[in-house]
Amino acid sequence: MAKQKRQLKEHRIERSWCKGCGICVHFCPTKSLELDEEEKVYAARPQDCICCRQCEIRCPDLAVEVLTEEGDSK
Amino acid sequence: MAIKDYIRQKFFPHMWCPGCGHGIVLNSLLRAVEELGFSKNEIVMVSGIGCSSRISGYVDFHSLHTLHGRALAFATGVKMSQPELNVIVPMGDGDALAIGGNHFIHAARRNIAMTAIVMNNRIYGMTGGQYSPLSGYGTIATTAPYTNIDHDFDIVELSRAAGATYVARTTTYHAQQMTKMLKEAILHDGFSVVEVLTQCPTYFGRKNKLGSAADMMEYYKKNTTPIGSKAKAENPDLLERGVFVRKDLPEYCSEYDKVIETAMKGRS
Amino acid sequence: MDGNIKFVQGNEACVEAALYAGLDFFAGYPITPSTEIAEHMSYRLPQIGGKFIQMEDEISSICAIIGASLTGHKVMTATSGPGFSLMQEGLGYAIMAEIPCVIVNVMRGGPSTGLPTCPSQGDVYQARWGAHGDHAIIALTASNHQDAFNITVDAFNMAETYRTPVILLFDEVIGHMRERLTIPEPGDIPVVDRLRTSVKAGIDYHPYLPREDGRLPMSDFGGQHRYNVTGLAHDMWGFPSSNPGVVHGLLRHLVDKIKNNVDTITRYKEYYLEDARTVLISYGSSARSALHIVKNRRARGERLGLLELQTIWPFPYGLVEEKCEKARHIVVVEMNMGQVLRAVKRAVHHPERVVLANRIDGVFITPTDIKNILRLIEGKGV
């Protein structure tokens, strides 16, 4: 069976947990994340997200989850 | 079960600094436990003292936050008295290998089935940036303001020599690899060591001008390589990542069960 | 009953008593004069399905027994002088985290390596104040093997009752001397089992919330309640707290649970105290010589009595005060420079009547040594 491309539902961001370290922003391969004026991460260009979850697995604050259409993030 | 179901959410956001690699270790560890499908009641997490040791307070397992360097000694009592429990022991580099160095080598020598995670940030973070046995020659720390003349341990070689039967090394950049190794280590029936290079941007990074947390992780990416890679042959300065030791030797608690069997026979 | 009579060292009596009390996990490190305890444990424990482990030092030994206690086992370690010094860190942890455990210190001459094979009672104050910070402690002792057996069972019972480490402060003479021991039948001495919580799974369990009677029911690691254990100041769930009210309450609880139960914890024996003009106060092996001289003098009609303390800490101030009320002379017999003497002086109305009969040279204190002091007191010269 051909691997289906994952479709982004949303980035679920726990704003109060995010400390704005910028690791997710730095390692996002499509540069779809940015820090806002309060130094909290947000999905600036969600349309560019390829759901690779590099942000989610490297977040030291457990503040980022990538939710996809075919099922929620683990 | 989502990984957030394995944490004590009321204590979040956690107390680690922005960009601290210890949070990534927590993140990868939770994924490992989730993928293994363990119940929270089967796991005991035993930690010592320092930034690293606070990890035990954040996980919703049985958690034992002990004394500086002594985590493996407490853990040995937990494991030996109740061998069916999965015992995970996260430690800092100073915690595990300076004050706890003796306990570390002896736990490895016994081959008691526990998972030692050495969160190696090359510094004492909790007390404010003093050099550790992993800082390395030529680094700067608050107790080495001119330069550090102490040489560092190689955790992999030390663990191997001490008798650990599973020894692996990775970094916070390689989070997926870390999860895979932690799963293997937890399932391994013997003493397992996973060294994780984890960034301390606040002290080690700042003192040694290594940039942001992301910069330090970029450093891990560029300066490490899989064991036996072509890159290593070309550049011997690269630090190898991967599983260095994986062998089956009799596990301590199982061996003691045989002692019990012998002792009971002699009595009847 | 005859089958239960043994001719053993005190160290072995201690082992048999620990097993009688339900011990099933021991961790230790060899050190004279306590080593026989580890040796006998390594032989006896696996026979009953228990576990023995020889650790890499005394630090890890006490840490290992704390870990094993948390999984629901009765635990003990044994050591002597220098090893007891190393255990102070773990002892403080067990006090703070309220972990039942028994620590045997078979005292030898100190300080430092001192006199490994010679008797001394120099660790009385280390037992009391070896760990840093305000705290209370229970320390018990005995002067013969039958008493050593009983007091060891008591130590385990108190450890469970008060959720605290209990120190058995034996000495080289008790540890190494061979003497007759009758091992009681099961049930002859009551044994206090681990008090486990009745709180069901899914209901908030407070590992550090005392019941009305002051006891704290436990839940085994690996059981249905997941909680935190730490050496940091902590709240009733075991999580770190620096809230002044919480910290104050915790420290008061740690001290009060023992201080308020001095009478229950106090164990002692008395000989001819009713009309005694000279009261000897002693403990451990020294009390054997004290008792010898008291009996001899009584036979000659002299009004001597002996108060033998088995509970050293918490110090039974009230008891000592009461028993010394009518005494003209109070002689503390011990093998140190006056450690229990200090406590006795604080306890009695006339501290100037308290004198010390001691030896500190590694030689066991004899009845003659005590007799010489008595002659001085009586103005007869030596």
Burial B153-173 (b: 16+ CB within 10 A, else e): bebbebbbebbbbbbbbbbbb
Among B24, B172, B200, the strongest candidate for a mutation testing the A interface, having the largest count of A CBs within 10 A, is B24
Q: Which of B83, B37, B44 is nearest to B62 (CA)?
A: B44
| Structure confidence at residue A11 (pLDDT) | 97
Query: What chains are in contact with B, requiring at least 3 Cβ pairs below 8 Å?
Result: A, C
> Cβ contact (<8 Å) for A27 and B217?
yes
Residue of B40, B67, B73 with shortest CB distance to C64: B73
Rounded distance between C-alpha atoms, residue C181 and residue C15, angstroms: 12
Residues of chain B in contact with residue C231, where contact means CB-CB under 8 angstroms, are 65-67
Nearest chain C CA: its distance from B234 CA (Å): 42
Give Cβ neighbours of residue B223 (< 8 Å, ≥ 6 apart).
Answer: B237, B238, B239
Which residue type occupies C16?
E
Going by pLDDT thresholds of 50, 70 and 90, the confidence category of residue B183 is very high
> Is the bond into B201 cis (omega within 30 degrees of 0)?
no
- Chain C residues whose CB is inside 8 A of the B81 CB are 25, 51, 67-68, 71-73, 75
Give the contacts of B13 (CB within 8 A, at least 6 positions apart): A16, A17, A18, A19, A61, A63
Please give the pLDDT value at position C213.
Answer: 87
Q: What is the pLDDT of residues A41-52, one digit of tens each?
A: 999 999 999 999
Q: Do residue B65 and residue C231 have CB atoms under 8 angstroms apart?
A: yes
Q: What is the mean pLDDT of residues B69-75?
A: 98
Provide the 10 A C-beta neighbour count for residue C132: 9
How much is the pLDDT for B266?
A: 77
Give the residue among C108, C100, C174 at the shortest CA–CA distance from C144. Answer: C174
Please tell me which residue of chain B has the smallest CA distance to C88. B67
Record: contact A62-B22, CB cut-off 8 A: no
What is the identity of the amino acid at C10?
A: G
Residue B186: strand, helix, or coil: helix
- Residue that the structure tokens 């045989």 belong to: B258
Chain-chain contact of B67 with C90 (C-beta, under 8 angstroms): yes
Can you give the pLDDT at residue B99? 98
Closest of C101, C139, C105 to residue C23, by C-alpha: C101
Cα B105 off chain centre by: 14
What confidence score (pLDDT) does residue C199 get? 96
Alpha helices in B135-251 (DSSP H): 155-162, 175-187, 206-207, 213-223, 230-234
| pLDDT given at position A1 | 47
Tell me how far apart the alpha carbons of residues B238 and C169 are, in angstroms, rounded to a whole number: 56
Please tell me the predicted confidence (pLDDT) of residue C214.
86
Q: Taking 80 as the threshold, does the pLDDT of residue B1 lie above it? A: no
Return the H-helix or E-strand segment holding C170: strand C165-171
| Residue A20 touches partner B, C-beta closer than 8 Å | yes
Interface ipTM: 0.97
Task: Give the pairing type, strands B115-120 and B166-171.
Answer: unpaired
- Find the mean pLDDT for residues B84-95: 98
The answer to whether A74 contacts B31, with C-beta atoms less than 8 Å apart, is yes
Under the phi-then-psi rule, with left for phi > 0, alpha for psi from -120 to 50, and beta for the rest, what region is B21? Answer: alpha
Q: What is the mean pLDDT of residues B22-43?
A: 97
Look-up of token digits 């001819």? C272
Q: What percent of chain B has pLDDT over 90?
A: 98
Rg of chain C in Å (alpha carbons)? 21
Backbone φ and ψ of C224, nearest 5°: -85, -15
DSSP C40-101: HHHHHGGGGT-EEEE-SSHHHHHHHHHHHHHTT-EEEEEE-HHHHHHTHHHHHHHHHHT--E
Q: Which of B57, B73, B74 is opposite residue C240, by nearest beta carbon?
A: B57
Is the pLDDT assigned to residue B83 strictly greater than 70?
yes
Burial of C190 (0-12, 13-18, 19+ CB in 10 A): exposed
pLDDT along chain C (382 residues), means of 10: 84 98 98 98 98 98 98 98 98 98 97 96 98 98 98 98 98 98 97 97 95 93 97 98 98 97 98 97 98 97 98 98 97 98 98 98 98 95 86
Would you give the DSSP letter of residue B117? E
CB neighbours of residue C300 within 10 Å: 7
CB atoms within 10 A of CB A54: 20
- Residue B54: CB atoms within 10 Å: 20
pLDDT of residue B268: 52
> What does the DSSP assignment read for C267-336?
-EEEES-TT-SEEEEE-TTHHHHHHHHHHHHHHTT--EEEEEESEEES--HHHHHHHTTT-SEEEEEESS
Computed over every residue of chain B, the mean pLDDT equals 97
Interacting residues of C278 by C-beta distance below 8 A, sequence separation 6+: C302, C303, C304, C305, C327, C328, C329, C330, C331, C374, C377
pLDDT tens digit at each of 74 positions of chain A:
455 678 999 999 999 999 999 999 999 999 999 999 999 999 999 999 999 999 999 999 999 999 998 755 44
A62 at interface of B, judged by CB pairs closer than 8 A: yes
Measure the CA–CA gap between C285 and C268, rounded to whole angstroms.
Answer: 14
Which chain C residues in 196-255 lie under 8 Å from chain B, judged by CB atoms? 220-224, 226-232, 239-240
Q: Tell me whether residues B27 and A58 touch, CB distance under 8 A.
A: yes
